[in-house]
Structure 1
Amino acid sequence: MKKLPKAEIKAIIRGADDLIFSGGRSLLAKVLKGSKEKKIYELKLDKSPVYGYFSGQKIDDVLAKVNWCIKNGYLDIEYDYRLPLLVYTPKGWEIEKDIYSDELLEQINEVCFTKEYEFAKQLKDRNRELILLLLDKIETSGRKQYVPFLMEWKKIDYKKVKKRINSVICTLNEEQ
């Protein structure tokens, strides 16, 4: 396999998110294949947004794609004693951060529509880089509809995040 399409790389990286430091290549391949194995359901891996992404392909072909992502520096393997576990490389994390921040932004859009701001509590204690990228995307949107949500979020997060939220609110309120 010489090259993978960007969409397939993104699907593999997104699928790895639930397995970082807890699962390996084979389990990721099963998730991407859409395996009906009991372990997949026990671990709720069937809830992954990319569960079954490669459903029409052979498991060996899916595993080859996962291996390609490892070989090409998107994912890596670290050992916990003898157990090989998936980890993001910096290159893979950059892609996952972008994908995941888009997913969070979609959820925030729904929250802004329903005005049920409890979702803000789920953003606290998330990876700081991810949260700052999410806030950059909100700021870039220029959409004032986010301000009430940001006001609620600001009440519960840490000082550095509050400062960035304040900055985003100011930018959104300044834009016409």
Structure 2
Amino acid sequence: MSKKVRRVPVVLDAGEIKDLPQEDIRMILRGADELISTGGRSMLAKILKGSKDKKIFEHKLNECPAYGYYQDMKLDDIAKCIDWMIKKDYLRIEYDYRLPLLVFSEKGWQIEKETFAQELYQRICLDVEEKKARVIFEMKEVNRQVVMRVLDKIEKDGTKKFLPYLEAWKMLEVKKVAARIIEVENKIAGKDM
């Protein structure tokens, strides 16, 4: 006889929160990105708090840009912000066996995709300025939609200083991304396709 799986119940409590500033929404989503389909609300609250919890450091969650964003708030109050995000459909909860895990809603993903792409674009700009190639080695692990948004941003910038960087990046990428890099290179170089 098999035992029935008992899911860990989730009770959302947004307290008195009626609205959150756009920057808070972006940072909560940025913190959640590190946990999507692998962690839940309490771990996200710890990231946003800047907790010294051993698991935070084991999984390098302290390197997340949202780490410590709410350092002056209590964990309970941070949890209310996260619950508000779930109630407003920026984040959702899906179960893996019995554990509730965070996932993006479509609305939340659109914001996070843009936030993460901007973060990577700024890091690439720094690489280009310093004539280094650090970020391109991370890009294979980045969601393809985010990668394409980064390339859109480089194309929009249109500065020729990106060309050597794009040339190096192209060599590391899969065909679809390499093809998009070639398009961006051609546009920046002023070639008609």
Query: Residues of 1 paired with 2:100 and 2:110: CA distance?
Result: 22
Q: Name the structure 1 match of 2:104.
A: 88
Q: Name the structure 1 match of 2:183.
A: 167
Shift of 1:113: 2.0
5+ unaligned residues in a row in structure 1: which ranges?
none
Is 1:5 equivalent to 2:21 in the alignment?
yes
Shift of 1:38: 1.9
Q: Name the structure 2 match of 1:105.
A: 121
Query: SS where residue 124 of structure 1 aligns?
Result: helix
Query: Residues of 2 paired with 1:15 and 1:104: CA distance?
Result: 15
Query: Residues of 1 paired with 2:140 and 2:77: CA distance?
Result: 38
TM-score by length of 2: 0.86
Greater Cα offset, 110-119 or 82-91 = 110-119
Query: SS where residue 87 of structure 1 aligns?
Result: strand
Shift of 1:126: 2.6
Please say which structure displays the higher CA radius of gyration.
2
Query: SS where residue 102 of structure 2 aligns?
Result: strand
Query: Residues of 1 paired with 2:127 and 2:184: CA distance?
Result: 18
After superposition, residues 1-176 of structure 1 pair within 5 angstroms as 1-174=17-190
% identity of equivalent residues: 47
Greater Cα offset, 31-40 or 109-118 = 109-118
Once the two structures are superposed, residues 68-113 of structure 1 have per-residue CA deviations (whole angstroms, 9 ceiling, x without a partner) of 0011111111111111111111111111111111111122112212
Query: Residues of 1 paired with 2:155 and 2:76: CA distance?
Result: 43
Shift of 1:48: 1.2
Shift of 1:159: 1.3
Query: SS where residue 19 of structure 1 aligns?
Result: coil
Shift of 1:142: 1.6
Which structure's residues are more often helix, by fraction? 1
Greater Cα offset, 149-158 or 122-131 = 122-131
Query: Residues of 2 paired with 1:164 and 1:72: CA distance?
Result: 35
Shift of 1:125: 4.6
Shift of 1:118: 4.9
Query: Residues of 2 paired with 1:125 and 1:18: CA distance?
Result: 13
Aligned in 2, Cα 1:125/1:11: closer, same or farther, shift over 3 Å? closer
